[in-house]
Amino acid sequence: MENILSEKELKEFRKLLDDCTKVVISAHVGPDGDAIGSALGLANYLRRKGKQVTVAMPNIFPDFLKWMPGADSILIYTRQQEQAKAAVEQADLIIICDLNQPSRLNGLEEHVMASLAPRILIDHHLDPAFFCQLTVSRPEMCATGEVICHLLHQLGELNSISQDEAVCLYAAMMCDTGAFSFNSNRPVIFECISHLLARGIDKDQIYRNVFYTASEGRLRLQGYLLYVNMKVLHNYRTTIITLTNEERRRFNVKNGDTEGLVNIPLQILGMRLSIFINEDTEHPGTMKLSLRSVDDFPCDQMASRFFNGGGHKNASGGKLVCTMEEACETVKKAVETFSEMLK
């Protein structure tokens, strides 16, 4: 395990945790498994230490993550705006997980930035903005959940965390690595896992909770998207899949049913890039884009340059306020711009 804070930073981190009473933990808009798992893992830990903790997310998160311990108490800003705002106003410590820019808090950003409470950022994305009193940024780590494992190790707490805390942190790491199929070659990742397994977690059950919860609509939608909506740009070794809200209603899919679909086209021999354009269910007319790649193709650069987004080299996202047709044209322009790297 690694000590990721200097002695000065560790002292500051301990003091911020010791001095607080009411804590708000948040993460990026469109929270995924790492965002939810790392936030809940930390929240469960701090509650066990006697802190009053509120987890507030900018918007809804996938149904297949709602089994996690503590998930039922998460405030959703787009649905519980006044409660989330009040929690931030009353907090004496705010912890932001799994994002590198405050803008990714969406509607929560205004309230978080206006708060006089100290802020801690815990993240693993590139190029973090320094908007917190303490920034714990480790881009080489596979997930924010891993960063928290190392923090708990440095606090001398990793081997005494509860099973619920370990479950959340394992799920965070598992989700952000595709069940450890990418971005997970560092041996210390599996040292982290061994500590979490020692807390009695059932990693096989966690896998099933995340990946074996598909509805019938999800499977039928998957077949439809691959057969009807997937375009293969052979010359660019790229696939594009689109999904509108009208199509979503046709298959009666639930929140989170599209998770992971972007990865499937990379099974095609020779493909380097997969792009999924998905109309936002909460904001019709906004297109969310998910990008996945293999080898050294930089999804994050494409997402930043063309889709107002960012992320990791092999997994990134963004959004465009436009029609589906316009989004497809922007995607084709992006692919052509990066054609040499794709070929």
**Number of other residues whose CB lies within 10 A of the CB of residue 74:** 24
Direct distance between the N- and C-terminal alpha carbons of the chain, in angstroms, rounded to an integer:
39
pLDDT of residue 256: 76
Q: Convert 175-191 to b/e letters by CB count within 10 Å (16 or more is b).
A: bbbbeeebbbeeeebee
- The amino acid sitting at 15 is K
**Number of other residues whose CB lies within 10 A of the CB of residue 234:** 10
- DSSP strand E in 22-133: where? 22-26, 52-57, 75-76, 93-97, 119-123
* DSSP alpha helix (H) spans, 226-323: 245-251, 299-306
**CA–CA distances in Å: residue 96 to residues 10, 109, 281, 297:** 17, 11, 25, 29
Maximum Cα–Cα distance for the chain, whole Å?
Answer: 58
pLDDT of residue 71: 98
**Strands 75-76 vs 52-57: parallel, antiparallel or unpaired:** parallel
- The amino acid sitting at 64 is F
Mapped onto helix, strand or coil, the DSSP state of residue 137 is strand
- Enumerate the CATH 3.10.310.30 domain ranges in the chain, comma separated: 216-342
Rounded CA separation 259/176 (Å)? 12
**Which of 5-14, 159-168, 208-217 has the lowest average pLDDT?**
208-217
- Enumerate the CATH 3.90.1640.10 domain ranges in the chain, comma separated: 7-211
**What pairs with residue 109 in β-bridges?**
none
CA within 13 Å, CB half, 212? 6
**pLDDT, tens digit (0-9, with 9 covering 90-100), for 50-106:** 999 999 999 999 999 999 999 999 999 999 999 999 999 999 999 999 999 999 999
Query: Does pLDDT of 254 surpass 90?
Result: no
Model pTM?
Answer: 0.89
The H or E element containing residue 7 is helix 7-19
The H or E element containing residue 290 is strand 286-293
User: Which CATH entry fits the domain spanning 216-342: 3.30.365.10, 3.10.310.30, 2.60.120.1440, 1.20.140.10?
Assistant: 3.10.310.30
Contact between 277 and 331 under an 8 Å Cβ cutoff? The reply is yes
pLDDT of residue 171: 98
Q: For tokens 């803008």, name the residue.
A: 103
Query: Does pLDDT of 255 surpass 80?
Result: no
User: Which CATH entry fits the domain spanning 7-211: 3.60.10.10, 3.90.550.10, 3.10.580.10, 3.90.1640.10?
Assistant: 3.90.1640.10
Sheet containing strand 22-26, strands side by side:
75-76, 52-57, 22-26, 93-97, 119-123, 134-137
Residue among 11, 31, 121 nearest 71 (CA) = 31
Rounded CA separation 228/230 (Å)? 6
